[in-house]
Structure 1
Amino acid sequence: MTFTEVPATHSSAPVVVPALQRWSADAGSLALADGFRVLWADSSLEATATQLVAEIAELTGLTGTAASAAGGNASAGDIMLVLDPKLDFGTDYATAAAEGYVLTVGTGVVLASRTLTGVFWATRSLLQMLLASTELPCGTAVDWPNYPVRGFMLDVGRRFSELGYLADMVRYMGWFKLNTFLVHLNDNEIAKDTQRSWDVAQQAFRLESENPRFAGLAAMDGSYSRAEWERLEELAAAHHVNLVPEIDVPAHARSLIKWKPELGLNGGDSDMLDLSRPEATELIKELFTEFVPWFAGPVVHFGADEYAKAHEPEYKQFFNEISAHVRSLGKQPMAWGSLSAMANGAGDLETGYNRDVLMCSWNNDWYSGQAAVADGYKIVNTNDEFLYIVPFADYYHGGPLDGRLLFETWEPHVFGDGKNLYPQHPQLLGAASALWNDLVLKDYDEHVMHGMIEPTFGLLAQKMWRGVVPGMDYDAFMAGAETVSRWPGREFLR
């Protein structure tokens, strides 16, 4: 079947965040009641069905069961989960095949997709509809994302976050169909800002290996063991969120220099590795060889930002060696875009910088989206002016992002300063907002951070998934977002 309904508008469609791409209303409604069943037509959907039953119970109080549909027919009021590799969404968006779904409400509910991920996103939409009412409007939703990368980054290097908070962030991201969680695993105090010496500057590396080779590297004030990280990976997989771990080198590396002072620039009085020493690069290769097997997702971030431009030749060699090493370990390398500031661009293909790196375009002067695309990179919009929270800082956003500005002027192709791309540019994979804990001497915790993230989280998801909805203004969107602000499974944030 091919679906060609007109795009959903604010007035016509059920309240779901991000909003449905298409909605075709039918007459009548379906009341979900105690005793409902969630049936799976493929055994790979059993875990999703079981999870959905528990989440409906948590959000509505209704009790039901999960069961296989094999050998039986769906009854009125059943919820059916279906994998259909030939499902046609009536759109040429490549993302539809990977993440799109069809949600149909009639005598029962059918959630269909080509993929497990699409079925899972359909369950999020169904749950949000149930928050409004357990009497569901009849109709058909056809939904898919405009961009394949929809993300958020959390800095745990400068301020440790409990594993329980990371787990709740995974659940929260999945609730809004955000699929990329970047975790910044090492960093340090910005010593020039606090006027403290590097000897006493706060620094941390948040992964704790049992390998004696790395004894003494993990932070004493909080780190994650392999077992803890793997539990987080399992949860992320269940919520169809990709973890993108970041080990930030060769700058922001005070934790490594504190551990190996001889490898620091300026005789160790720095947070930058001395790349003139081959053993510094070899150590970083060992580091990735040690920790990449912990990581289940397809992408690993190696930082590569804000290094000293005077050492650009060594930086280029490091960039190319480490990105190639990450690739040799079976992962797609990612970096913070820095090549305008560092090298006036990536150079030619033979002697310049490796192109097989995903670039986070975080600052238009360091490397704008336009510049990175012109050099041939695929990019993610992580623009600092629009998307960075730095709690209590007097730069970027010291609290929540500017929701009205984001709603009225921003989408993933917008970088500002005349550096915008056109929407759905083939090299633009999507966007990610970020919370950076620069001010290490301030006193706050995960609950305070979340209070800054929460006001615009659904709004950002809306812009990354669908964008502007005809007939919807900012106040109407925020009112709708409030109706779906309760999400299932939270533990740390209770």
Structure 2
Amino acid sequence: MSLKRYLVPGFKQFTPGGGSSTLGDLLHFRAAVGAEAAARTLMSDLAELHGIQGVLSVSAPADIPSQGDVVDVVLSLDPTLTDFATIDEPLRAEAYKLEVGERIILTAATEQGLQWASRSFLQLIQSCGDSRALESGTALDWPDYPVRGFLIDTGRRFMAPEFIRDLIRTLNWHKLNTLVIHLNDNEIAKDTGRSWDEAQHGFRLRAESGEFAPLASTDGSYSRQDWDSFEDLAAARGITIIAEIDAPAHSRAFIAQHPELGRNNGNSDMLDLAGDHAVNFMKRLFDEFLPWFRGPVVHFGADEYERGLDEDFKRYFNQMAAHLRSAGKSPMAWGSITTMSGGAGAPAPEGYDRDVLICSWNNGWYGPKEAVADGYRILNTNDEWLYTVPYADYYCGDGLRLEKLWSDWEPHVFGGDEVLDKQHPQLLGSLSACWNDLVLMDYNEHDIFRMVSPTFPMLGQKMWGGTPEVMSFCEFSELTDRMADCPGREFVNSQVAAVGGKD
């Protein structure tokens, strides 16, 4: 069986070299300048998962002689990476080469690429069992799509900081590189029969003082220190965090504090976009927290606003996109343009700003074919395929339908006749999502993890290299079970799940 089938995701290319390399209880790590952090992370993970200890030397690897029977693990950065000269950026930035012989050699153009090489090395050891005998050969590996990730809704239900950090570690294990954190939202009042004054709502960033300090939810919010811990860990693990502050719908957290911002004299979860008061509030809100967000992309929401207010919505969309760009961030938004306006029309200012990354979440609100025809770069976030709403009787109430995903879904598949060409140049990748719509239900982070974590290896495989040839769903499931141990997780391993979801 090909070594490509022992990993999740599997290698794109593997050339056997003959023989094997057996690892002992001690390895000598040799990190070139710039690769030290990746080497230290790998050493820590190796000790945790396999009980193998490491000694680190930092130098030009060729300058350090081998030491007897101790296997060398060499990590180095090569910006030229000539083995991948025909691969376009940004995919080339995540490519890596892994050589197994007398030495184990991990080479990549970036630290992120070294992260993925190190995950593959750890999984190779895992696949060997107690023998620790790695088949000799050379792997060349790179992703199909540059954005591969997951969205967690913390707006409707606070997620402990420790859980967010465990999500980062879990995404890393399967070479998923993006975590979107949805930071505000509210109860769907029409579904619960409660008034807007009663409806639960959340905003999860905590300013220490000033205009926006009162917005922080009393049932849980993230301090700057919490957020820095997310960003620090994400950077060390090859993950980009995208923060989402959602408006002009889903905005009850803001309207509850400032009723004058809302439609119907504040009896709403939608901002009143007539005039400039609401948009200026949102600009100031983003300005308050943009210094927290280290990633190049920021999500400004823009979904499911009230129909019939097309011009107000378009003006808001364009102003917020321009505002984020002026602050040095690339804007991202939900696809709602078909429903709101019947199409993007001419470019801004007459039509919609095209320099926005669009999450194509629903084929009716704004399908992928129309979005790419309008010139947008898009992500597949299709609700029917990729949404989990814990314990709901709609979408996927107990986790995504893995067997159907295996047989029928790829990142370019959006359902119905909404299918793009594979690796369409405007399709950047895909995000699955967990939405905590049922705010009155009793469940916790452990329940969420049980539902979403089986998704990550499959989506990681699909977005990295597609569905492996001549592999059944059962075989893939057995493989993911063998690769389930992920280094560094603490919170999800220690929490007790709620006994089912209950009112």
Same fold (TM over 0.5): yes
Instruction: Calculate the aligned-residue CA RMSD, in Å.
Output: 1.2
Structure 1 residues 214-293: aligned runs within 5 Å: 214-293=212-291
Structure 1 residues 371-382: aligned runs within 5 Å: 371-382=370-381
Residues 87-142 of structure 1, C-alpha deviations (whole Å, 9 max, x = no match): 22357332442100010000010001111111110000001111122221111111
| Alignment-derived partner of residue 72 in structure 1 | 64
Does the Cα contact within 8 Å between 1:11 and 1:471 map onto a contact in 2?
no
DSSP-derived class of the 2:430 partner: strand
CA distance in 1, matches of 2:297, 2:213: 26
| Alignment-derived partner of residue 61 in structure 1 | 51
| Alignment-derived partner of residue 310 in structure 1 | 308
TM-superposed CA distance for 1:212, in Å, is: 1.6
Residues 169-199 of structure 1, C-alpha deviations (whole Å, 9 max, x = no match): 0000011110010000000000000011000
DSSP-derived class of the 1:208 partner: coil
Residues 456-488 of structure 1, C-alpha deviations (whole Å, 9 max, x = no match): 220011001110212211111111111111010
TM-superposed CA distance for 1:165, in Å, is: 0.2
CA distance in 2, matches of 1:86, 1:74: 26
Identity of aligned residues (%): 50
1:34 aligns with 2:41: no
Does the Cα contact within 8 Å between 1:309 and 1:341 map onto a contact in 2?
yes
Does the Cα contact within 8 Å between 1:38 and 1:65 map onto a contact in 2?
yes
CA distance in 1, matches of 2:87, 2:18: 29
DSSP-derived class of the 1:245 partner: strand
CA distance in 2, matches of 1:66, 1:185: 40
Residues 24-75 of structure 1, C-alpha deviations (whole Å, 9 max, x = no match): 1121111111221111112x21111111111111111111112213442345
Residues 254-283 of structure 1, C-alpha deviations (whole Å, 9 max, x = no match): 000001011100111100000014111100
| Alignment-derived partner of residue 444 in structure 1 | 443
Q: Structure 1 regions of 5+ residues with no counterpart?
A: 1-9
| Alignment-derived partner of residue 180 in structure 2 | 182
Structure 1 residues 327-406: aligned runs within 5 Å: 327-350=325-348, 351-406=350-405
| Alignment-derived partner of residue 9 in structure 2 | 18
TM-superposed CA distance for 1:370, in Å, is: 0.7
| Alignment-derived partner of residue 196 in structure 2 | 198
CA distance in 2, matches of 1:214, 1:225: 13
DSSP-derived class of the 1:78 partner: strand
Counterpart of 1:118 (choices 113, 122, 127) is 113
Single out whichever of 312-321 and 89-98 deviates more from structure 2. 89-98
How many residue pairs end up in the alignment? 484
DSSP-derived class of the 2:6 partner: coil
Single out whichever of 304-313 and 70-79 deviates more from structure 2. 70-79
1:93 aligns with 2:53: no
CA distance in 1, matches of 2:187, 2:87: 43
What letter matches 2:440 in structure 1? L
DSSP-derived class of the 1:209 partner: coil
DSSP-derived class of the 2:486 partner: coil
Counterpart of 1:47 (choices 37, 49, 55) is 37
| Alignment-derived partner of residue 78 in structure 2 | 84
CA distance in 1, matches of 2:2, 2:475: 10
CA distance in 2, matches of 1:21, 1:354: 37
Runs of 4+ off more than 2 Å: 10-14, 73-76, 88-93
Residues 199-231 of structure 1, C-alpha deviations (whole Å, 9 max, x = no match): 000001000012321131110000001111011
| Alignment-derived partner of residue 3 in structure 1 | none
| Alignment-derived partner of residue 6 in structure 1 | none
What letter matches 2:145 in structure 1? Y
| Alignment-derived partner of residue 5 in structure 1 | none
CA distance in 1, matches of 2:465, 2:229: 31
TM-superposed CA distance for 1:86, in Å, is: 2.0
DSSP-derived class of the 1:355 partner: coil
TM-superposed CA distance for 1:373, in Å, is: 0.4
Could you state the TM-score of these two structures normalised by the residue count of structure 2? 0.94
CA distance in 2, matches of 1:169, 1:90: 30
CA distance in 2, matches of 1:216, 1:298: 27
